[in-house]
Amino acid sequence: MSTVTGADLERPASEPPTRRISLSRRIKDNVATVLVSLAFLIAVVPLVWVLVTVVSRGAPALFSADWWGTSLSGILPEEYEGGVYHAIYGTLIQALIATVIAVPIGILAAIYLVEYGRGALARTTSFMVDILAGVPSIVAALFVFAAFISILGAPQSAFMVSLALVLLMLPVVIRNTEEMLRLVPDRLRESAYALGIPKWKTILRIVLPTAFSGTVTGVMLAIARIMGETAPVLVLVGYSRAINYDPFQGNMASLPLLMYSELSNPEAAGQYRIWGAALTLIIIIMIFQVGASLLSRFSAIPK
């Protein structure tokens, strides 16, 4: 008969099963960790590469005195002077006009699809939105060219670009708003109905405010998305080296169009302006994206 000492009592009879990880599990764990990290690196490398290139080549232009406040009017191709303010204006005003048209239509269409749409018309609308979402930007641009410029005889102008951008923006706004409205729980609608609040008022005062944050974020992202579109500006408006405030007539520059036109500039100044405009465009789009995330944070429903 053995005697039990204090030390024996301290030691567990067998090692607890939770303490050992089998060799095969450790190997699987390591392999998976390596694979996932590798995939992450592969995804990040091009992104960092693009950013570093654009920033390093574009930054000098951004710090020049004229960049944000003058146009290229009267500047020779080989000169480094001048700025892109005419193109920034063009990009912003074209996006703004597109937004003013696309957002109300998009939100109303989404409200129809979520709150009212039943039957064939809703299915057709939903199907058409899917088709529209798949339309390449060059096709949207050519459609506007055919419908408004060839048939109706409208002049090429920034407004035509905005119309093409509307076609690209609409499905994004509709789909996003639809998602946000569907996230609003039905029990909120029901409790509003149960208070004797009519349906339209329920949508306007209960459903839309609840979905506001996500809807606005979606709109901001859609704006950021269309500002880089190149096909519509190539097809629907001429390039101008000078500022043109009038979106309804005349040539108007925009950042993508400026970059495209400077491609044919053989001088080093052309490269300088292309990279500068690229960085400017990225910065503007980033401002919208950061703005979207800030808006969604501050307009989020308090808990």
Partner 1 sequence: MAKRIDLKDVDIYYGAFHAVQNVNLTVIPRSVTAFIGPSGCGKSTVLRTLNRMHEEIAGARVEGEILLDGENIYDRGTDAVAVRRTIGMVFQMPNPFPTMSVRDNVVAGLKLQGVRDKKKLDEVCEASLRGANLWKEVKDRLDKPGGGLSGGQQQRLCIARAIAVQPDVLLMDEPCSALDPISTLAIEDLIADLKKEYTIVIVTHNMQQAARVSDQTGFFNLEATGKPGHLVEIDDTEKIFSNPTQQATEDYISGRFG
Which spans of this chain sit near partner 1 (rule: CB under 8 A)?
A: 118, 185, 187-198, 201-202, 205-206, 209-210, 212, 301-303
Specify the residue, 54 or 184, whose C-beta has the smaller distance to partner 1: 184
Handedness of CA 298, 168, 97, 275 (dihedral sign): positive
Among 301, 297, 115, CA closest to 220? 297
* Tokens 């949508």 found at: 203
In the complex, the smallest distance separating the C-beta of residue 210 from partner 1, rounded to whole angstroms, is 6
In the complex, the smallest distance separating the C-beta of residue 289 from partner 1, rounded to whole angstroms, is 25
Among 253, 234, 236, CA closest to 245? 253
Specify the residue, 128 or 197, whose C-beta has the smaller distance to partner 1: 197
Tokens of 83: 């700025």
In the complex, the smallest distance separating the C-beta of residue 111 from partner 1, rounded to whole angstroms, is 16
In the complex, the smallest distance separating the C-beta of residue 193 from partner 1, rounded to whole angstroms, is 6
3-state secondary structure 152-176: CCCCCCHHHHHHHHHHHHHHHHHHH
Q: What is the DSSP string of 83-143?
A: --HHHHHHHHHHHHHHHHHHHHHHHHHHHIIIII--SHHHHHHHHHHHHHHT--HHHHHHH
In the complex, the smallest distance separating the C-beta of residue 292 from partner 1, rounded to whole angstroms, is 19
In the complex, the smallest distance separating the C-beta of residue 194 from partner 1, rounded to whole angstroms, is 4
Specify the residue, 39 or 188, whose C-beta has the smaller distance to partner 1: 188
Pairwise CA distance, residues 43 & 61, whole Å: 29
Answer for the pair 75, 84: CB distance below 8 angstroms, yes or no.
Answer: no
Specify the residue, 11 or 187, whose C-beta has the smaller distance to partner 1: 187
Among 63, 119, 123, CA closest to 280? 63
**DSSP character for 5?**
P
Specify the residue, 136 or 185, whose C-beta has the smaller distance to partner 1: 185
Residue type, 174: I
Specify the residue, 43 or 194, whose C-beta has the smaller distance to partner 1: 194
In the complex, the smallest distance separating the C-beta of residue 97 from partner 1, rounded to whole angstroms, is 31
Pairwise CA distance, residues 233 & 168, whole Å: 13
Specify the residue, 197 or 284, whose C-beta has the smaller distance to partner 1: 197
